[in-house]
Structure 1
Amino acid sequence: MTAIRVLSYNVRYANRGDHHDAWHDRRDAVARLVRFHRPDVAAFQEPLPDQRDDLRERLPKYEFVGRGREADGEGEGCPVAVRSDRWEVTESDTFWLSETPEEPSAGWDASYPRIATWGRVRAVDGDARLLVVNTHFDHVSAHARRESARLLRERVPEIAAAGEGGSDETPPVVLVGDLNCTPGSEPHRILVEGDGSETDEGSEIGDGAAGKPPEDALALRDAATEADLRYGPETSLTDFARLIDGRRIDHALVSPPVSVDTFATLADRDDRGRYPSDHLPILARLSM
């Protein structure tokens, strides 16, 4: 068995209107949190180019892959960072959550272009391999969230099955990110159960049973549900000062043969007594 720790963290884009929670007042705390918990893989959402540079500078033991969502590579990104003393990235790429995933684009009435960045990683010592996918769903359009989930159901198995260097072995998959929806919502059900049932356009919570995926489809499970030990708040959203209840919108989903030992929502505060972002990071300790 190989143990791997995967962290997902929406660090909030550098918004000048954040005043005393501006990025330059938070960036050291964000990096210290990551260094303290020492994940093997850290997946970030929302960092702009200067923020990505700041994270690289403050996390020198990590190799970063990924680009921004705009056509020139700028804009918000979903970078994946890997501890280079334990893992190496053998292949990576980014695609757009839209009807034209190979081109910079916004799909299905999304308010902005949305992307998924993936990295195929391999243990430096050993044969363990893993496909990590990091994404950020639209925060406005329910339609975009549903279709983004369906696109990932289609593309992630294709990427996993492509293998490394022509290998016909499908690696385990970990899909993480800010999905802007809670457990039980239709996008979440699409990812873990299949096509999902129809719900009202404006609603992300439904009670209907989702359609089951084909037998050869990628099976995903919610790490928070599967964990032998779960720790931390039930929510992952903050206003920098307080937790916003009932909003676990940051997720880690895993495929067989990954087992989930622990799942934590990390409520670490900085030396000002504030949360370093408007999201809490999540951390899953996995075994393969």
Structure 2
Amino acid sequence: MTALRVLSYNVRYANRGDHHDAWHDRRDAVGRLVRFHRPDVAAFQEPLPEQRRDLRERLPAYEFVGRGRGRDGKGEGCPIAIRADRWEVVDDDTFWLSETPDRQSVGWDAAHPRIATWARVRAVDGDADAPAELLVVNTHFDHVSADARRGAARLLRERLPELASAGASDSAGSAPVALVGDLNCTPGSDPHRILLGDDPEGDSGSPRNADDDPLRLRDAAAAADLRHGPRTSLTDFSRLIDGRRIDHALVSSEFDVEAFATLTDRDDRGRYPSDHLPILTRLSL
């Protein structure tokens, strides 16, 4: 059996207006949180270049991949950190959530450019039970436009099967997939349904028949044998904001979902290190 622990964490961009919750007062707590829980994969949303540098410095056991959403690689990113003692990165890239995903662009009527970063990884210890490769995808949907969120979900439904099967031999088949991130929508919303293969408009090509679905994703929070923590993932740094589980982990059918947790770790000031709570999913193959 191969175990995989995947953490997703919107760490909030470095906003000078956050005052006593500014990034320089939170970065050590974010690093300690990740080191304590020791995920195999840590997927972050919103960090700017200097924040990505801070995360790399505080997480030396991890290999980072990903770029910013700006034309020059700057701006907010969706980096993926891979625990290097267990996994090695085979391939990685970033695409934009837009009608022109292979170049820097703003999709539909989104307020900002939005991206998805992916990494194809394999075990470094030669574990005979491990699949040849795993695909991890990290994304952040637009916070303003519902149309952009639906478009982004449909684009991922189209692209993920291609990425999962890329480079695989006929005998190996497609790589198991873990898609995580801040989707800026709650369970049962249109984008969430689209990603699970149930497009409410029914005209995007997303298959309704599970037997014909090239990639069957499940919501790890719903599928988990054990669920822990609050049913929201938003904070105002001091309190939880109820009913806003907008950070998600969706996994393909090859995975058994052992546990899903929304982590409520606070820093040494008694505050949450971000305006989002991290989510941690424990998977096995």
Decide: shared fold, TM above 0.5.
yes
Q: Which residue of structure 2 aligns with residue 280 of structure 1?
A: 277
Query: Which SS does the other structure have where 1:157 is aligned?
Result: helix
User: What is residue 206 of structure 1 aligned with on the other side?
Assistant: none
Q: What residue is the counterpart of 2:77 in the other structure?
A: 77
For residue 177 of structure 1, report the CA deviation from its aligned partner: 0.2
Instruction: Trace 1:205-244 onto structure 2 (pairs within 5 A).
Output: 212=208, 215-244=212-241
Where 1:107 maps in the other structure, the secondary structure is coil
Query: 2:63 matched to which residue of 1?
Result: 63
Native 8 Å contact 1:80 1:119 kept in 2: yes
Paired with 1:168 and 1:150, the residues of 2 have a C-alpha distance of 26
Letter of the 1:17 counterpart: G
Cα 1:167/1:43, change in 2 over 3 Å: farther
The aligned residue for residue 26 of structure 2 is 26
State the Cα distance separating 1:196 from its structure 2 match: 2.5
Alpha-carbon shift at residue 250 of structure 1 (Å): 0.1
Distance 1:250 1:143 in 2: 19
- Given candidates 135, 139, 144, the residue that maps to 1:135 is 139
Unaligned runs of 5+ in 2: none
Q: Contact between 1:195 and 1:213, CA under 8 Å: does it hold in 2? A: no
- Give the CA deviation at 1:212: 1.2
Once the 2 structures are TM-superposed, how far is the Cα of residue 164 of structure 1 from its aligned partner? 4.9
Q: CA separation in 2, counterparts of 1:83 and 1:166? A: 28
Aligned residue type for 1:245: D
Q: Contact 1:62/1:81 (CA < 8 Å) preserved in 2?
A: yes
Q: Is the 8 A contact 2:139 2:183 kept in 1?
A: yes
Mapped to 2, the partners of 1:237 and 1:99 lie a distance apart of: 29
Moved over 4 A (4+): 164-168
Give the match for residue 260 of structure 1. Answer: 257
Aligned-pair identity in percent equals 75
Out of 142-151 and 166-175, give the one that drifted further: 166-175
TM-score (norm 2): 0.94
Using the alignment, how far apart are the partners of 1:258 and 1:30 within structure 2?
27
The answer as to 2:169 corresponding to 1:169 is no
- Alpha carbons of structure 1 residues 164 and 64: separation in structure 2 relative to 1, 3 Å: farther
Distance in 2 (alpha carbons) for counterparts of 1:85 and 1:53: 20
The worse-fitting range, judged by mean Cα deviation, of 216-225 and 130-139 is 216-225
CA distance in 2, matches of 1:157, 1:164: 12
| 1:39 matched to 2:39 | yes
Query: Cα deviation per residue 1:44-72 (whole Å; 9 max; x = unaligned)?
Result: 00000000000000000000000000010
Q: Structure 2 CA distance, aligned partners of 1:287 and 1:57?
A: 29
- Report what 2:9 is aligned to: 9
Match of 1:245 among 238, 242, 245: 242
The alpha-carbon deviation at position 163 of structure 1 amounts to 2.8
Q: Distance in 2 between matches of 1:249 and 1:81?
A: 21
CA contact (8 A) 2:207 2:213 kept: no
CA contact (8 A) 1:197 1:211 kept: no
Is the 1:162–1:168 Cα contact (8 Å) retained in structure 2?
Answer: no
Rate the CA distance shift 1:35–1:259 in 2: closer, same or farther, 3 A.
Answer: same
1:269 aligns with 2:266: yes
Q: Measure how far apart 1:193 and its partner are.
A: 2.5
Alpha-carbon separation, structure 1, partners of 2:123 and 2:143 = 35
Computed over aligned residues only, the root mean square deviation of the Cα atoms, in angstroms, reads 1.5
Question: How far did residue 161 of structure 1 move?
Answer: 1.1
Asked if 2 retains the 8 angstrom alpha-carbon contact of 1:187 and 1:196, the reply is no
